[in-house]
Amino acid sequence: MIRLVNFLLLVKKLTNYNKKDIDIGKTPLEIYKICSCLRETFCLSYAIRKENNLFLYFQNEGVLIKFEGNRLKYLGPDERSQALLLRKAIDKINLVNSSDIEKWRKSTPGIYIRNFSNNESFIKYFKSFPSFNPIFLINDNDVEKVNSYLTVNEFETLNTISDFFYIIPAYNIIIEDSNFFQLFKELKDIKFLTLSKINSIEDKFLYVNFRLDLLKKQD
């Protein structure tokens, strides 16, 4: 049975870099972290996880980049190939015409980019997503703060972990942008969960895929 999983990685802003930075080993830390998430989402020893999709949303720029596992090509397990594919997608941001706002544009096979006029239109897009069953993963050190007005449960309380849309912030959205976090709080049927002691964003991707692999072995 195919267990489709979507990941949404929330990134505060785009970090500028070029091919030369990658070639001389000066990959910006923010890009390195994104590449680590790409690797943990898709890369197996000799294959790609075709059942996974990853969405990157750069909040300040209102840019969404989609990686579709079943169509993805040219993504290797190495940081260089990942960073260069991401760079190609980012380069298309400034090529958009006003008439093409909020329309998907292809970068390379399996990678698409879309602009949004504001965070509200971005949230509206996901609310209309056919299989949008959202889970927001909160850092363990934020649980006590969020528990004062929301119920945060442990990840292990889920009966199943497939067919969900996992929302993972790459920055402390609760402290740095509470207004944006409020938009997620208002989503219907959203669950707020924590992975105890797992605060590294790439490790969250790794753990969800680990649990999925266990489910596959049980089928």
**What percentage of the chain has pLDDT greater than the value 90?**
57
Q: With 60 as the cut, is the pLDDT of residue 204 above it?
A: yes
Q: Where are the alpha helices (DSSP H) in 97-141?
A: 119-127
**What percentage of the chain has pLDDT greater than the value 70?**
94
Say how far apart CA 4 and CA 41 lie, in whole Å. 12
Q: Using the structure block, give the residue that is written with the tokens 């706002």.
A: 101
Residue 128 is predicted with a pLDDT of 86
The H helix count followed by the E strand count for the chain is 8, 9
Number of domains in the chain: 1
How many angstroms separate the Cα of 82 from the Cα of each of 22, 40, 78, 87, 125? 10, 12, 7, 9, 26
Reported confidence tier of residue 64, pLDDT bands at 50, 70, 90:
very high
pTM for the complete prediction? 0.93
Give the domain range for residue 44.
5-218
The pair of structure tokens assigned to 160 is 């199943």
Q: Which of 37, 45, 31, 60 is nearest to 180 (CA)?
A: 60
More confident residue, 86 or 160: 86
Residue 184 is predicted with a pLDDT of 93
Q: With 80 as the cut, is the pLDDT of residue 33 above it?
A: yes
Residue 144 is predicted with a pLDDT of 83
Q: For 120-148, what is each residue's pLDDT tens digit?
A: 999 999 988 877 889 999 988 888 888 77
Count the Cβ atoms, other than its own, within 10 Å of residue 3: 16
- β-bridge partners, 133: none
- SS3 at position 172: coil
Reported confidence tier of residue 97, pLDDT bands at 50, 70, 90:
low
Count the Cβ atoms, other than its own, within 10 Å of residue 216: 12
CATH number of the domain encompassing residue 54:
3.40.1280.10
Q: With 90 as the cut, is the pLDDT of residue 117 above it?
A: no
Radius of gyration of the chain from Cα atoms? 17
Q: For 150-196, what is each residue's pLDDT tens digit?
A: 889 999 888 888 888 999 999 999 989 999 999 999 998 899 999 98
Say how far apart CA 182 and CA 67 lie, in whole Å. 26
State the amino acid at position 34 in one-letter form.
I
